[in-house]
């Protein structure tokens, strides 16, 4: 009997509480069918009701409580009516990303059959790539300052910090992923014609990494034309590696070209498994639709599939479970039931049940 992998479940706020049960439903169906040794534990914190009662988003010993888990399933956090978004976000999700060194933010971008595409004339298969975003360093720092404030010499300086270790581990992940796919193609998001120090350095790091992967093509593209091509020529992309800021922008643009935010999943990975990795939908807590049970649970369910693939190193029954969930999603999008964001009238659990049934 193999050791059970442990999953911590934190549903969060708003529609996080509506989509999480559907993620669990599908997870249980997949675990049963593929005989995956898993156990789950639910935690009732990292949400804004907890903040209202305790003045913080999480208990002081949150890290010790989660440290031994293999993965964290997260719904969505944020309830701006009671807690400002920066407080809820910095008090939970961003702590996980940083303290658990989840340096890869992975977002698959794929157009499913049956989803209206905002790009004219695109068919399923035309959009199928991954954005691999650096999640812990880069442009997002608090280094810098404002000088001569209020005078006519007022100036501001904001630093970006990249480390060789940080660049190499991001690039290695991107090249490994590309090598496992049929196109075997990495696009580096760069701007070495304008940002004169850090971006030429990134180009060099990527060229050096490419030497280790003779079967993978490296294509360096400036971020301006790259964003245009996400819209005009999405078929050019396979794996897109990007710094924190560029990746942030690309990983919203990419999913936006494939229909609804209700489908887009993400993984925050610590590939070495020194810490648990975290899997969550791209969307937020959506206070505007919370309480009606009309949130699309597919982003959550697809995040569950990403988690299983990661837990099994992309192999064996775990990979089969991932593929089966994505197939069941694809089939359900086409045949229904569909939530209102996909033009249907179904409720959140209808979609979760349908996907679980395809899997059973
Ligand atoms: P965040 O601040 O967490 O990045 P946000 O608050 O800006 O996100 P969301 O909560 O993702 O934004 O909501 C953006 C819009 O998308 C809202 O109109 C919301 O109703 C809609 N939406 C988000 N998730 C879903 C979903 N799963 N199904 C249907 N509609 C959704
Ligand atoms: Mg929000």
Q: Along the 360 residues of the chain, how does pLDDT read in single tens digits? A: 568 999 999 999 999 999 999 999 999 999 999 999 999 999 999 999 999 999 999 999 999 999 999 999 999 999 999 999 999 999 999 999 999 999 999 999 999 999 989 998 899 889 999 999 999 999 988 899 999 999 999 999 999 999 999 999 999 999 999 999 999 999 999 999 999 999 999 999 999 999 999 999 999 999 999 999 999 999 999 999 999 999 999 988 999 999 888 999 999 999 999 999 999 999 999 999 999 999 999 999 999 999 999 999 999 999 999 999 999 999 999 999 999 999 999 999 999 999 999 999
Ligand 1 atom 31, closest CA: 262
Q: Please name the residue that has the structure tokens 């157009």.
A: 111
- Specify whether the CB–CB gap between 107 and 282 falls below 8 A: yes
- Specify whether the CB–CB gap between 242 and 189 falls below 8 A: yes
Question: Does 289 sit in the ligand 1 pocket, CB within 6 Å?
Answer: yes
Ligand 1 atom 2, closest CA: 284
Q: How far apart are CA 324 and CA 141, in angstroms?
A: 40
- Pocket probe for ligand 1: among 284, 287, 296, 302, the residue whose CB has the most ligand atoms within 8 Å is 284
Q: How far apart are CA 38 and CA 27, in angstroms?
A: 10
Query: What is the whole-number distance in angstroms between the Cα of residue 85 and the centre of ligand 2?
Result: 7
- Specify whether the CB–CB gap between 237 and 132 falls below 8 A: no
Query: What is the whole-number distance in angstroms between the Cα of residue 252 and the centre of ligand 2?
Result: 14
The two structure tokens encoding residue 166: 């940080």
Q: How many CB atoms lie within 10 A of CB 347?
A: 18
Ligand 1 atom 25, closest CA: 262
What backbone torsions phi and psi does residue 307 show, to the nearest 5 degrees? Answer: -65, -45
Ligand 1 atom 7, closest CA: 284
Q: How many CA atoms lie within 13 A of 219 on its CB side?
A: 16
Rounded to two decimals, the pTM is 0.94
Query: What is the whole-number distance in angstroms between the Cα of residue 253 and the centre of ligand 2?
Result: 17
The two structure tokens encoding residue 282: 């791209």
Q: How far apart are CA 233 and CA 257, in angstroms?
A: 11
């Amino acid at each position: 009997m193999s050791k059970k992998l442990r999953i911590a479940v934190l549903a969060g706020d708003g529609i996080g509480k509506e989509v999480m049960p559907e993620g669990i439903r599908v997870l249980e169906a997949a675990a049963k069918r593929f005989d995956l040794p898993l156990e789950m534990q639910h935690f009732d914190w990292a949400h804004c009701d907890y903040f209202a009662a305790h003045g913080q988003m999480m208990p002081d010993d949150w890290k010790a409580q989660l440290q031994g888990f293999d993965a964290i399933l997260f719904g969505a956090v944020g309830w701006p009516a009671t807690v400002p978004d920066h407080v809820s976000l910095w008090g939970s999700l961003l702590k996980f990303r940083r303290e658990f060194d989840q340096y890869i933010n992975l977002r698959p971008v794929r157009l499913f059959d049956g989803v209206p595409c905002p790009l004219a004339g695109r068919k399923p298969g035309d959009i199928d790539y991954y954005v691999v975003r650096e999640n812990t360093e880069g442009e997002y720092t608090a280094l810098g300052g404002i000088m001569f404030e209020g005078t006519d010499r007022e100036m501001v300086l904001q630093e970006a910090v990249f480390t060789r270790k940080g660049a190499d581990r991001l690039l290695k992940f991107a090249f490994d992923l590309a090598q496992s796919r049929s196109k075997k193609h990495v696009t580096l998001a760069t701007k070495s014609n304008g940002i004169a120090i850090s971006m030429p350095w990134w180009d060099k790091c990527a060229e050096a990494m490419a030497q280790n992967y003779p079967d993978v093509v490296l294509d360096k593209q400036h971020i301006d034309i790259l964003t245009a091509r996400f819209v005009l020529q999405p078929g050019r992309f396979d794996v897109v590696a990007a710094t924190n800021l560029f990746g942030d922008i690309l990983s919203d643009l990419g999913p936006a070209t494939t229909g609804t935010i209700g489908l887009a999943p993400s993984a925050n990975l610590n590939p070495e498994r020194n810490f648990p990795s975290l899997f969550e939908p791209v969307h937020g807590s959506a206070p505007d639709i919370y309480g009606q049970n009309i949130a699309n649970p597919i982003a959550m369910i697809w995040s569950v599939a990403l988690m299983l693939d990661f837990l099994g190193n992309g192999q064996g029954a775990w990979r089969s479970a991932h593929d089966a969930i994505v197939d069941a999603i694809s089939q359900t999008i086409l045949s229904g039931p569909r939530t209102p964001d996909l033009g249907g009238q179904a409720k959140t659990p209808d979609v979760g049940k349908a996907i679980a049934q395809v899997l059973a």
